[in-house]
Structure 1
Amino acid sequence: METEEETTTTPTTNGGVKLGMWETILRNHHNSLKSLFHLKKPDSIITDHSSVNSPKPIPQLSPIANEVVSTSSKILGVSTNELQHAFDSELPLGVKELLTYARHLVEFCSFKAIQKLSRTSDYLSDSEFRRFTFDVMLAWEAPSVHADQLVTESPTSNDETVGDEDDASLFYSSSTNMAVQVDDKKTVGLEAFSRIAPVCILIADIITVHNLFDALTNSSGRRLHFLVYDKYIRSLDKVIRNSKNVLASSVGNLQLAEEEIVLDVDGIIPTQPVLQHIGIAAWPGRLTLTNYALYFESLGVGVHEKAIRYDLGADMKQVIKPELTGPLGARLFDKAVMYKSTSVAEPVYFEFPEFKANLRRDYWLDISLEILRAHRFVRKFGLKDTQKLEVLARANLGIFRYRALKEAFKFFSSNYKTLLTFNLAETLPRGDRILQTLSNSLTNSTAASGKRDISANVERKKQSAVSPAAVVALFCLGFKSKKAADIYEETTAVCDIRVGEINPLDMAVKQSLLDTGKAEAAQATVDQVKVEGIDTNVAVMKELLFPVIESANRLQLLASWKDFYRSTAFLILGCFVIIRGWIQYLLPTIFLFIAIIMLWRRHFRKGGALEPFTVRPPPNRNAVEQLLTLQEAITQFESLIQAGNIALLKIRALLLAILPQATETVALFLVFIAAVFAFVPPKYILLVIFIECYTREMPCRRESSKRWIRRFREWWIRIPAAPVELVKPEECKKRK
């Protein structure tokens, strides 16, 4: 069977090609979008050995790459020879090197074909478009005739197991069963997917494409199967159609502006309402998110009342975060999103009741924050007109992709929220650089003018600019507005990726992902060394601080004067260092010594595994004993805070002269200290402090030191504390 299928697309020696699956399908669908893949000619012309219908294979390309180039030529309405000649003449020599010629030729032809197909309205519903884009990824992985062939049968063979009905998750329901049905060799890796998928910005964004691939290949060993890819595209098409239908029915009710797009609606099903809490009052209703605002329509007697608009676009210090809520203002259920801004008198809570976890709340939190952060990005970088529309369009498409994954595969993953560009930039390392790069690209972008069958060269100085691809994509899908129409008419290049070039956004994302990998690896080591129990953590800390504790014990032993000769020697050494002014070099010497030890270890360890740190854990304690230990620690901490407050109140009493004699004594002492600091060099002050503290335990000073400390404590005890009055604020809750 494999031999027969291969012969249907293998070029013959006389330059002809036998009719394959593409020709059979396309002849039967002349009146649909699929006719773009085949020139509309009679059957007698199809069998003719013309340059378009029977293209001569390019020697440098693999069979699958030749199939992609052939299909691209049919979509564009030119021969493969003309495409190759355009590639040779239009692109610089740097992308036509021997080792990369085949891959860049595949990119050149397929990019133009995908861009042309992306300007139609229903290309996502075309199964041949989905098959073609997947074949492009396969060809990108094995473009050269000398490359290892990853596909042993025709790349355009139709998978009859894929239907158009939207049933349950096809791949994730049983990954083992799916692996049997799909040829393992016909899968796509991350590099090919991240290169080809963003060419159609509706399918993937260049910033989040790596996370999209991770979500699609979560259960397939980091290789993307066509069935999963097809399922995702069909779900994306369904989501966009639903949004268009909701938009058509909501324009009048919500009084939407011309450029507003409905992204999602919740609370339509009576058994799953959305509750709006203001104060202690709550109303069920319907919540709608657009690319500019949140709308809540409270449910009246059988109908929805006039919608309340919560603006996300204006600069009103909006705050959106998860929050607890419940009946009568009780904080019981973690299923709400709080909205607060200067336009509302008090915070508004949107509760999403459900029995399982809080998935609805998390989803609405993510998509609402995405729109809010997109508008903040626009204001931060001062983007206007086309650039602003492009930013919002990218946020809209990210939410559509988010919904498509969530609805297609019937389970919720924490990776889904990483498909939202501006939410992702808030959490990624160097995420601010990604946004800065995006802003620079949008600022430098200019819409190319003029149209040809094979689009013109883009000037080299414009290669780093981002075209308004998202605005054009939404316009082609039917989300029309006057500004979008003007942009559509002026724009020819609708792709952020250029043939043979790396987009600055892609470089910024890859650097961020590299840092993310390092951070995750470091966090894994942190999770491994975490221990439970207060006493165990204290034991670990004591072992880690052993050098510091041991040094402090040695100094305390010297200061106790139990060994008179060693203590005397240290005293003389310390005085000599202070008098000569060497004390300022003490800290630099310590830091330099530590640095030398670190470099020494770095040189001789040479990447070897670090030996684990050995700690002797304390005896095991049961839960009651651990609770008693925690209670004792809290009590001691409270006592320290009380002592600190009493000291501060006594100082306040001295400052306010509650005890006049004590205040006079302190004032005279402060005048004396000020004179000392004003007229005595600092090294002599430090010398006196060192001698006084270090010699307190000397045999000749021990008794007098204890006497002076006792007198100070007795004087301190006689200082009264300033009075304190606790006043509880009046609690007034607004009742509506």
Structure 2
Amino acid sequence: MGLLEGLFGGDHSRGRGKKEHGGAVEAADMATDAAIPPLSRIAASVVHRCARIAGVPVDQLLRRFHAEEQACRPLEYARSVVEYCSYVALRVETKRQDHLGDREFHSLTYDMMLAWEAPDEETDAVFQTAFSILRDDADDDDGGSIFYSSPTQMAIQIDGRRTVGPEAFAKIAPACPAMAHPITVRNLFDALTNSTGGRLHFLIYHKYLKSLDQVLSSAKRISDGHKAPALQLSDIEVILDIYGAATTKPVLQHIGTSTWPGRLTLTNHALYFEPIGVDFSYGEAVMYDLARDLKQSVKRESTGPWGAHLFDKAVVYKSSSTSEPVFFEFPQFNGHTRRDYWFAVIKEVLHAHKFIRKYRLADFQKAEALSVATLGILRYRTVKEGFHILPAHFKTTLAFNLAEKLPKGDKILEALYGKLKQHCSRFRGSEDFGQSSSDELTLADPFPLSAYTMVRMGLLTLKEEDNPEERDFMVGDVQIGGTCSVQMALDRSVDYSGRVEAARATLDQIKVEDIDTNVAVLKELLFPLIELGKWLLVLVEWEDPLKSYVFLFCFLYMIYSGWIWFMLPGCLLGCTLLMLWHKHCGNGQLIGVFEVTTPPRRRTVEQLLALQEAISQLEAHVQAGNIFLLKLRSLMLAAFPQSTNIVAVALVVAAAAFALLPMRSIVLLILLEAYTRQMPVRKKSSEKLVRRLREWWLRIPAAPVQLLRPQDTRRWRSRLRSR
């Protein structure tokens, strides 16, 4: 068992006390519990255990369920019974502060998931058969050795329990807010089953809850003042994480060219940085408020000594309250997981406060939103520390980050806000299930809210009117036999995200790093437009006079008759018909491969020379643009009076033309002049006119420019203010 303790971490042997005399105790409990048709044996056992926890007889519990819920098919009925009884028991269990550290609670909730997955005899038989086949395969694999088998097979050999699927986990786990949240429960399941083939085993589930209990206990100790930094925190602030507490592993803060080591503390309202002094003591903390609307942004960034972008291990914070961007560097020899973790949790706090400001939440609603973010961050930290996994993008386990990233994630936040409003409109007196009669036993609150969980764990203090001991909420986040609005919005967003991921996979296939290859792909994609441009250029240059005359007369007739205004709608309609034709003829088949002939690869030195040449050309174009604007400035300020007079007359004529002539005639004259410029009859006169215009433009002087240093700029501005 030493190997198992090393793999799954902890006091697994402590929980085996009851399991070893063992499987016997659980089997005896299941044998003594009376059967409840059409429930399976494990479902009936769960119902009896839930009734004992609630302190009421089983028949009264079921009678109350029959009065509230009606199911059509046996499977739906059995599943609804398991849900109802599980939520009743979990409401009682989650009121205990130490429930996450209790192995009995782990076993109970895991059996609830098994019972929900196989609630009736028929479904249970199917799962039993599949489990027996898997266990036989595990026993036969390499003579039953646990050293050469997969993690799932090893867990089956040691523990002998069935595994849980995602649907059961998503239905039961959110009933304990510390354990999971409805928005991120599927992503949490994927993270926990990353190495077990998409099925959750009890050993991993037990390790997760035990690690989560340790993280929550650590947060509780810090909030009580043990190992807490000397910060002036408000009563509603909760410390989420600290990095740099050891002076040998500090956070490096970069502002401009200055760098300072220190300690970074994140709360649910702000970010605090405490610089380390010469005597290795912490100085006064600098606070970066994450709760106010200061146009704040957080990004991943590279940093290094003297501002050099060498190491991709930093987070840059910008806001209207800081004159310069603030870089927080998290030194790490390999990779940048530490930076990615801090980036994610800081973004979660920012998004939570953005949600609060958007819907103008206050009092308990605000506390609930911050509690959702706080528990999500602590779960995220648990997965990182216990399983060395940092779920990112659409797989993140942070609720507000996920809602911001998912397509149509705003609908998830709208549904979450609707639930918060529903909670606050359904106040009622609390009840104790252990002392309730069958008539008082309701599912008005199937599980406590996140804020109440924070209060019971000592991480949050609510106002007197929101005290969970005095009032309770009627919660509908988990519906018996149904799906809540938050879950429906999440399912729609996940469906869209699947399409986005599929589209992103196609993008990854065509991304190439060579600039020449990218240019070749671009030329092939634009080949029809390039050929059309070449054909129009041949007509404009009058290389074939007959074709040019025919095109000119057709174009003039289209403008004169007014057909020119139907060209754009006609093109759009033609594209629509082409798309529909391909849809009809393609029958949903994949697009054919687009073949591109790659140019010969160039050496690194040649690529650097080409890059230098491109930069030089870009610089020349920028200079030409500046010269053009400075000459216009000279004309506008009459620095060259004779040219200014000419430009003024030209502008007056243009204004009169636009005022007196119809737009059709103006467009006709402009196109006719541009098209006939290379016509044999006009070619010499056009070249002469262009030459004269160029010579006239070259005679215009540019407006003077004086370049000032930054200190000279400040001195010049102060001089203007004094005037």
| TM > 0.5 fold call | yes
Residues 595 and 217 from structure 1, CA distance in 2 versus in 1: closer, same or farther, beyond 3 angstroms? same
2:44 matched residue in structure 1? 66
Distance 2:148 2:225 in 1: 38
- Give TM-score, length-normalised by structure 2: 0.85
Query: 1:434 aligned to 412, 415, 421, which one?
Result: 412
Among candidates 227, 248, 255, match of residue 271 of structure 1: 248
Any conservation in 1 of the 2:373–2:400 contact (CA below 8 Å)?
Answer: yes
Q: Which moved more, 1:392-401 or 1:722-731?
A: 722-731
Instruction: Please list the CA deviations of residues 87-108 of structure 1 after superposition, one character each: whole Å capped at 9, or x if unmatched.
Output: 11122x3x45444111111111
User: 2-side partners of 1:623 and 1:541: how far apart?
Assistant: 22
Query: Could you tell which deviates more after superposition, 257-266 or 119-128?
Result: 257-266
Deviation of 1:331 (Å):
5.9
Moved more, 184-193 or 222-231: 184-193
**SS of residue paired to 1:723:** coil
How many angstroms does 1:516 deviate by?
Answer: 0.9
Cα distance, 1:680–1:253 mapped onto 2, change above 3 Å: closer
Do 1:324 and 1:334's aligned partners in 2 also have CA atoms closer than 8 Å?
A: yes
For the Cα contact (< 8 Å) 1:175–1:219, is it kept in 2?
no
Is the contact between residue 337 and residue 365 of structure 1 (CA under 8 Å) also seen in structure 2? yes
Distance 1:151 1:350, change over 3 A: same
Where does structure 1 lack aligned partners over 5 or more consecutive residues? 1-19, 29-36, 39-45, 156-171
Per mean C-alpha deviation after superposition, the further-off stretch among 308-317 and 420-429 is: 308-317
Separation of aligned partners in 1, 2:153 and 2:546: 81
Partner of 2:583: 602
Residues 636 and 278 of structure 1, relative CA distance in 2, 3 Å threshold: closer
CA distance, structure 2, for counterparts of residue 716 and residue 470 of structure 1 = 72
Structure-1 residue corresponding to 2:169? 193
Alignment of 1:604-623 (within 5 A): 604-623=585-604
C-alpha deviation, 1:360, in angstroms:
2.6
Q: Following superposition of structure 1 onto structure 2, how do residues 98-247 of structure 1 map, counting pairs within 5 Å? A: 98-147=74-123, 149=125, 151-152=127-128, 176-182=150-156, 186-247=162-223
* 2:573 is aligned with 1:573: no
Alignment of 1:368-379 (within 5 A): 368-379=346-357
Aligned residue in 1 for 2:643: 662
Task: Spell out, residue by residue over 1:638-692, the C-alpha distance to the aligned partner (whole angstroms, 9 max, x if none).
Answer: 2222222222222222212222111111111111111111111221222222222
Question: 1:365 aligned to 2:347?
Answer: no
Relative distance call for 1:304 and 1:579 in structure 2 (3 A) is closer
Equivalent AA in structure 2 for residue 260 of structure 1? E
690 and 268 in structure 1: CA distance in 2 versus 1, 3 angstrom threshold:
closer
1:320 deviates by 3.9
Aligned twin of 1:387: 365
**CA distance, structure 2, for counterparts of residue 543 and residue 310 of structure 1:** 50
Q: Distance in 2 between matches of 1:564 and 1:353?
A: 71
1:593 deviates by: 0.9
Of stretches 424-433 and 724-733 in structure 1, the one that deviates more from structure 2 is: 724-733
Post-superposition shift, 1:703?
1.8
Q: 1:122: Cα distance to partner? A: 0.7
The equivalent residue for 1:260 is 237
- Identity over aligned pairs, percent: 46
Instruction: Say if 1:238 and 1:491 are closer, same or farther in 2 by CA, change over 3 A.
Output: same
Per the alignment, residue 7 of structure 2 pairs with none
Deviations 1:493-516 (A, max 9, x none): 567212112111111111111111
Structure 2, unmatched stretches of 5+, are: 1-16, 132-145, 715-723
Helix, strand or coil: the match of 1:491? strand
Higher helix content, 1 or 2? 2
1:598, distance to aligned residue in structure 2 (A): 0.8
Amino acid in the other structure paired with 2:582: R
1:514 matches 2:495? yes
**Could you say which residue in structure 2 is the equivalent of 1:498?**
479
Structure 1 residues 510-519 or 705-714, which shifts more? 705-714
Q: Deviations for 1:447-470, whole angstroms, at most 9, x for unmatched residues?
A: 3324253665467xxx9xx98600
Pair 1:546–1:417, CA change in 2 (3 A): closer
Q: 1:337 to 1:563 in 2, by over 3 A?
A: closer
| Contact 2:375-2:450 within 8 A present in 1 as well | yes
Alignment-mate amino acid for residue 632 of structure 1? E
Q: Is residue 2:452 matched to residue 1:478?
A: no
Q: Take 1:347 and 1:622, find their aligned partners in 2: how far apart are those partners?
A: 38
- The answer as to whether partners of 1:366 and 1:417 remain within 8 angstroms in 2 is no
Letter in 2 for 1:555: L
* Greater displacement, 467-476 / 409-418: 409-418
The match for 2:672 among 654, 666, 691 is 691
Partner of 1:78: 56
Q: Deviation at 1:387?
A: 0.5
Tell me which residue corresponds to 1:397.
Answer: 375
Q: Does 1:290 align with 2:290?
A: no
Within 5 Å, which residues of 2 pair with 1:526-541? 526-541=507-522
Find the partner of 2:706 among 725, 729, 734: 725
* 1:668 partner amino acid: V
Aligned residue pair count: 673
TM-score under structure 1 normalisation? 0.83
Secondary structure, counterpart of 1:501 in structure 2: coil
Q: Give the whole-Å Cα distance in 2 for the aligned partners of 1:698 and 1:707.
A: 14
| Partner-residue secondary structure (3-state), 1:448 | strand
Does 696-705 or 288-297 show the bigger shift? 288-297
Query: How far apart in 1 are the matches of 2:316 and 2:40?
Result: 56
Question: Partner letter of residue 153 of structure 2?
Answer: A
In the alignment, which residue of structure 1 is the partner of 2:143?
A: none
Shift of 1:275: 4.0
* 1:599–1:23 CA distance, 2 compared to 1 (3 A): same
Name the amino acid aligned to 1:263: L
Tell me which residue corresponds to 1:629: 610
Aligned-pair CA distance for 1:619:
2.3
Alignment partner for residue 422 of structure 1, among 384, 397, 400?
A: 400
CA distance in 1, matches of 2:682, 2:314: 68
Q: Deviations over 1:497-543 (max 9, x none)?
A: 12112111111111111111111100110110122322222221111
Change (3 A) 1:361 1:617: closer
Shift of 1:385: 0.8
Does the 8 Å CA contact 2:33/2:44 hold for their aligned counterparts? no
Quickly say closer, same or farther: Cα 1:495–1:198, change in 2 above 3 A: farther
Cα pair distance change 1:413/1:53, threshold 3 Å: closer
Question: How many angstroms apart in 2 are the aligned matches of 1:233 and 1:124?
Answer: 6
State the distance in 2 between where 1:291 and 1:504 align: 27
* Structure-2 change in CA distance of 1:715 and 1:254 (3 Å): closer
Q: Distance in 1 between matches of 2:543 and 2:24?
A: 104
Moved more, 494-503 or 590-599: 494-503
Would the aligned equivalents of 2:187 and 2:395 in 1 still touch at CA under 8 Å?
Answer: no
Q: How far, CA to CA, are the matches of 2:622 and 2:256 in structure 1?
A: 35
> Cα distance 1:632–1:282, how it changes in 2: closer, same or farther (>3 A)?
closer
| Structure 2 counterpart SS, 1:100 | helix
Provide, for residues 91-131 of structure 1, a one-character-per-residue CA deviation record: whole Å limited to 9, x for no partner. 2x3x4544411111111111111221111111111112112
Q: Aligned AA for 1:104?
A: S
